[in-house]
């Protein structure tokens, strides 16, 4: 985010207290009544199955972990307004990463001391000594951002603090006597600690964003941290401030080899402007992260490598403590962009998360590619399936006729065969002439998304001023698309997640038709449209 986000805000006078009570409670209990004027906003813009807070402002996902049957998602949250403000950690839980239930606020700011982004770990061996009962203690590590110091123009506004929970993550207590656990070393941007257990070197590792680089710290007890190294000052994209890193070991698909991935969110300077999720692949000796030589070449050629090339996937990080019997590396992002996040046309709440995704590291062309696919649990909510095969057309091929499928909560999978033309353009449209275009330019080898005609765009000059592009590694012979649509968003997974593009849009009427066009012959060998109904009970 730009430093302007942190300009002095309205005086924050609420007396803030740690929350009490232990049970997850239903979101309905804290829903504020939706006013009549907001009814159409709810109908048109509240996603069907992507998480949104009932009211207020949300940005980064924070502190995600799995414990006791629930995936926990915390997030940067300001309940009182739908713009950024005094940051709390909001909280939601899910049994399957698809259907989310909002909970009471997890961590409150103290006056002028905002709770910025961070992570949480399940301290299975009670290394912290913070266990009080039967449950494994859960430790949240976050940045405390001091607005008073910021207003005074001081450098040391950010430090790393911890809070802990002894009821599986539902209520939290700040570790008052021991904070900060990492002091500010005199760096203005010094935030977003991501902690994980490094099983190879038997230590806790913290990676945090220090302005233009990532810093690594190690610990045996989550309370005392030792600086070990830094990475990235001269590597990758540096169009803005590095924020929200993540660091994990992952198996290379189809091999026994493992590599370390450093996710490093950046704002501005993303692949298509504003915020973006870049990453690096390499090795880690317990202290220093070193780029893999093949990946180093790739970064050199491409300048930066991104986990998503759309404009609306930011601050994405992964879940802690996913059981080894599951073994997936699970990711979720904030589906917006600091270029316009505070102007998008919703008023009672702002922002949603991306769909939760499974990350895979794939060895390709002498380097590595971090690929993502939607979590498989989404398939449990398919309520209607339309299948077509061997579709052929000339110029334009209608893929669904008007009204045959609900394009506001759908997964569309299709493959284009025998690619002969320069460009294949998919179009989602409605009777008001609104349309979202995306597709493949096979002459200059890129995927694109064009939302310039997809409803409201005038709330921000930056929102639809350019077509977003994701460059591909050469000419494509065939193309496999999986597309997730949820009222205000499209998530495009190309060739099983090799390239991903995520974008939001704000229609005046829902889309009713879907087609593909090219100069002449078009061949779609398989088309599957799966309508989703996430309000029904999971088949599990
Ligand atoms: C990223 C970010 C983080 C910070 C948080 C504040 O979007 O700027 O770096 O911790 O948002 O809300």
pTM across the whole model: 0.93
Q: Give the residues surrounding ligand 1 with Cβ less than 6 Å away.
A: 1, 59-60, 76, 87, 116-117, 143, 191-192, 243-244, 315
- Tell how far the Cα of 116 is from the centroid of ligand 1, in angstroms: 6
> pLDDT tens digits, the chain, 540 residues: what are they?
444 454 323 222 222 223 322 333 333 333 334 444 566 899 999 999 999 999 999 999 999 999 999 999 999 999 999 999 999 999 999 999 999 999 999 999 999 999 999 999 999 999 999 999 999 999 999 999 999 999 999 999 999 999 999 999 999 999 999 999 999 999 999 999 999 999 999 999 999 999 999 999 999 999 999 999 999 999 999 999 999 999 999 999 999 999 999 999 999 999 999 999 999 999 999 999 999 999 999 999 999 999 999 999 999 999 999 999 999 999 999 999 999 999 999 999 999 999 999 999 999 999 999 999 999 999 999 999 999 999 999 999 999 987 788 999 999 999 999 998 899 999 999 999 999 999 999 999 999 999 999 999 999 999 999 999 999 999 999 999 999 999 999 999 999 999 999 999 999 999 999 999 998 899 999 999 999 999 865 444
Q: How far apart are CA 59 and CA 87, in angstroms?
A: 10
Nearest to 52 by CA among 316, 334, 275, 379: 334
Give the residue carrying structure tokens 């309520």. 383
Q: Whose CA is nearest to atom 6 of ligand 1?
A: 116
Query: What is the pLDDT, as a whole number, of residue 39?
Result: 67
Nearest to 370 by CA among 247, 540, 267: 247
Rounded to an integer, what is the distance from CA 114 to the centroid of its chain?
21
Q: How far apart are CA 419 and CA 398, in angstroms?
A: 18
Q: For ligand 1, what atom is nearest to the CA of residue 1?
A: 8
Q: Whose CA is nearest to atom 9 of ligand 1?
A: 243
Q: Whose CA is nearest to atom 2 of ligand 1?
A: 1
Q: For ligand 1, what atom is nearest to the CA of residue 243?
A: 9
Q: How far apart are CA 332 and CA 205, in angstroms?
A: 21
Tell me the DSSP string of 379-435: GGGEEEEEEEEEEEEEEEEEEE-TTSS-TTSEEEEEEE-S--SSEEEEEEE-TTS-E
Query: What is the pLDDT, as a whole number, of residue 495?
Result: 98
- Bond from prior residue into 218 cis (ω within 30 degrees of 0): no
- Tell how far the Cα of 144 is from the centroid of ligand 1, in angstroms: 11
Q: What is the assigned CATH class of domain 381-532?
A: mainly beta
Residue to probe by mutation, ligand 1, list 2, 243, 339, most atoms within 8 Å of CB: 243
Query: What is the pLDDT, as a whole number, of residue 146?
Result: 98
Q: Whose CA is nearest to atom 8 of ligand 1?
A: 1
- Tell how far the Cα of 121 is from the centroid of ligand 1, in angstroms: 19
**What is the DSSP secondary structure assignment for residue 45, as one 8-state letter?**
H
* Alpha-helix runs per DSSP H in 155-267: none
Q: How far apart are CA 377 and CA 407, in angstroms?
A: 20
Nearest to 452 by CA among 440, 467, 433, 431: 467
Residue to probe by mutation, ligand 1, list 4, 7, 60, 332, most atoms within 8 Å of CB: 60
Could you give the 3-state DSSP secondary structure of residue 309? coil
Q: Return the CATH number of 9-48+56-374, one of 3.30.420.40, 2.60.40.10, 2.115.10.20, 2.60.40.1080.
A: 2.115.10.20
- Tell how far the Cα of 267 is from the centroid of ligand 1, in angstroms: 10
- Supply 230's token pair: 């830094």
Query: What is the pLDDT, as a whole number, of residue 403?
Result: 75
Q: For ligand 1, what atom is nearest to the CA of residue 145?
A: 10
Residue to probe by mutation, ligand 1, list 9, 86, 87, 116, most atoms within 8 Å of CB: 116
Q: For ligand 1, what atom is nearest to the CA of residue 192?
A: 10
Contact (CB, 8 A) for 42 and 345? no
Q: How far apart are CA 141 and CA 118, in angstroms?
A: 6
Q: How many CA atoms lie within 13 A of 506 on its CB side?
A: 22
Rounded to an integer, what is the distance from CA 468 to the centroid of its chain?
18
- Tell how far the Cα of 104 is from the centroid of ligand 1, in angstroms: 21
Residue to probe by mutation, ligand 1, list 1, 74, 269, 336, most atoms within 8 Å of CB: 1
Query: What is the pLDDT, as a whole number, of residue 536?
Result: 66
Which residues make Cβ contacts (< 8 Å) with residue 293, sequence separation at least 6?
none
- Tell how far the Cα of 81 is from the centroid of ligand 1, in angstroms: 17
Give the residue carrying structure tokens 């999986």. 482
Report domain extents, the chain: 9-48+56-374, 381-532
Q: For ligand 1, what atom is nearest to the CA of residue 338?
A: 7
- Tell how far the Cα of 60 is from the centroid of ligand 1, in angstroms: 7
Q: For ligand 1, what atom is nearest to the CA of residue 244?
A: 9
Active site residues: 60
Q: How far apart are CA 127 and CA 267, in angstroms?
A: 35
Give the residue carrying structure tokens 């590694």. 473
Query: What is the pLDDT, as a whole number, of residue 323?
Result: 96
The secondary structure of 88-104, three-state, reads EEEEEEECCCCCCEECC
Q: How far apart are CA 540 and CA 532, in angstroms?
A: 15
Contact (CB, 8 A) for 458 and 465? no
- Tell how far the Cα of 117 is from the centroid of ligand 1, in angstroms: 6
Angle at 59 between CA 191 and CA 90, to 5 degrees: 90
Q: How far apart are CA 99 and CA 92, in angstroms?
A: 10
Contact (CB, 8 A) for 102 and 91? yes
Q: How far apart are CA 490 and CA 438, in angstroms?
A: 10
């Amino acid at each position: 985010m730009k430093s302007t986000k942190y300009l002095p805000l309205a005086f924050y006078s609420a007396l803030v207290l740690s929350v009490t009570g232990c049970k997850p409670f239903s979101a309905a209990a804290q829903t504020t009544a939706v006013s009549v004027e907001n009814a159409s906003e709810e109908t048109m813009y509240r996603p069907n199955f992507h998480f949104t807070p009932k009211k207020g402002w949300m940005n980064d996902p924070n502190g995600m972990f799995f414990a006791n049957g629930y995936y926990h998602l915390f997030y940067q949250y300001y309940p009182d307004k739908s713009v950024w403000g005094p940051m709390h950690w909001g909280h939601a839980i899910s049994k399957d990463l698809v259907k989310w239930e909002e909970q009471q606020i997890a961590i409150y700011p103290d006056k002028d001391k905002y709770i910025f982004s961070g992570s949480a770990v399940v301290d299975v061996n009670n290394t912290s000594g913070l266990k009080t009962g039967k449950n494994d203690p859960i430790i949240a590590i976050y940045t405390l951002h001091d607005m008073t110091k910021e207003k005074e123009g001081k450098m040391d506004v950010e430090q790393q603090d911890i809070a802990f929970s002894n009821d599986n993550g539902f209520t939290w207590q700040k570790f008052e006597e021991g904070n900060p656990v990492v002091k500010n070393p005199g760096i203005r941007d010094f935030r977003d600690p991501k902690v994980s257990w490094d099983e190879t070197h038997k230590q806790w590792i913290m990676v945090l964003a220090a302005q233009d680089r990532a810093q690594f710290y190690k610990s045996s007890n989550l309370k005392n941290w030792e600086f070990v190294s830094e990475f990235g000052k001269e590597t990758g994209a540096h169009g803005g401030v590095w924020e929200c890193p993540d660091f994990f070991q992952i198996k290379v698909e189809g091999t026994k080899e493992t590599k370390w991935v450093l996710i490093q969110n950046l704002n501005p300077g993303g692949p298509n402007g504003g915020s973006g999720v870049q990453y690096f692949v390499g090795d880690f000796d317990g202290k220093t992260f070193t780029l893999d030589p093949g990946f180093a070449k790739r970064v050199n050629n491409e300048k930066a490598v991104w986990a998503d090339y759309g404009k609306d996937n930011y601050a994405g990080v992964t879940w802690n403590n996913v059981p080894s019997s599951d073994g997936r590396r699970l990711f979720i992002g904030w589906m917006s962009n600091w270029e316009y996040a505070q102007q998008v046309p919703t008023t009672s709440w702002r922002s949603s998360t991306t769909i939760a995704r499974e990350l895979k590291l794939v060895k390709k062309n002498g380097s590595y590619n971090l690929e993502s696919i939607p979590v498989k649990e989404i398939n449990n909510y398919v309520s209607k399936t339309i299948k077509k095969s061997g579709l052929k057309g000339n110029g334009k091929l209608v893929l669904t006729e008007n009204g045959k499928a609900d394009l506001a909560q759908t997964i569309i999978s299709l493959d284009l065969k025998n690619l002969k033309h320069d460009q294949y353009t998919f179009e989602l449209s409605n009777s008001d002439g609104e349309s979202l275009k995306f597709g493949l330019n096979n002459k200059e080898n890129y995927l694109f998304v064009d939302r310039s005609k997809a409803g409201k765009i005038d709330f921000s000059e930056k929102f639809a001023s350019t077509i977003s592009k994701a460059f591909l590694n050469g000419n494509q012979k065939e193309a496999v698309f999986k597309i997730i649509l949820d009222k205000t968003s499209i998530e495009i997974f190309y060739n099983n997640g090799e390239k991903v593009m995520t974008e939001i849009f704000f229609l005046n009427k829902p889309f009713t038709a879907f087609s593909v066009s090219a100069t002449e012959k078009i061949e779609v060998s398989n088309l599957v449209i799966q309508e989703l109904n996430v309000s029904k009970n999971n088949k599990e």
